[in-house]
Amino acid sequence: MTPQELRTLIESDAQALALAQAGAADQCAIRCMAIAAKVLTPTRMTELGVLAAYPDGTTGEAVLQQIEAVAAQNPIVARVAKWMLPGAPGVDFADARVRAIWTLPVASGGIGLTEAQAAPLLAAAEIAPTISGADVETAYPFIP
């Protein structure tokens, strides 16, 4: 995140702005990490990772069954499913093409998961950006 982007983020949130204006750069950084858009990080998962992404085995199993059902009709999804087999390298859930297929309707070439079903898979590759107090001081210098 550039200093200008961080400054814009700080100014978009009353709590972050108050902290920055008070010179509480470390606390402002914590607030900014909580409100900033998540960033993608390479995250490879196999079937076991998919199951682990859900709080209950039933939902994870239903997602895997949906993938298998669609894979029987769609060669692209079949290839993705193959990469998810135990022992395979896994699928990178940070890849834009992979992220797009989860909620894309089956008729359009996707897997057809609902937003709720796909959310844990997509969230697995999302992390909060790293923002330090020094970053805040650069973006929003404290003037007593």
Question: What is the residue extent of each domain of the chain?
Answer: 3-38+129-139, 44-126
**What is the reported pLDDT for 109?**
87
Residues in Cβ contact with 42 at an 8 Å cutoff, skipping those fewer than 6 apart: 92, 94, 125
**What is the reported pLDDT for 144?**
80
For residue 9, name the pLDDT band (cuts at 50, 70, 90). very high
Residues in Cβ contact with 91 at an 8 Å cutoff, skipping those fewer than 6 apart: 44, 45, 46, 80, 83, 84, 98
Summarised one tens digit per residue, pLDDT across range 83-93 is 999 899 999 99
Taking the C-alpha atoms of residue 120 and residue 126, their distance in angstroms, rounded to an integer, is: 10
Burial of 65 (0-12, 13-18, 19+ CB in 10 A): exposed
More confidently predicted of 144 and 64: 64
pTM, rounded to two decimals: 0.76
The SS3 of residue 91 is strand
Summarised one tens digit per residue, pLDDT across range 121-144 is 999 999 999 999 999 999 999 888
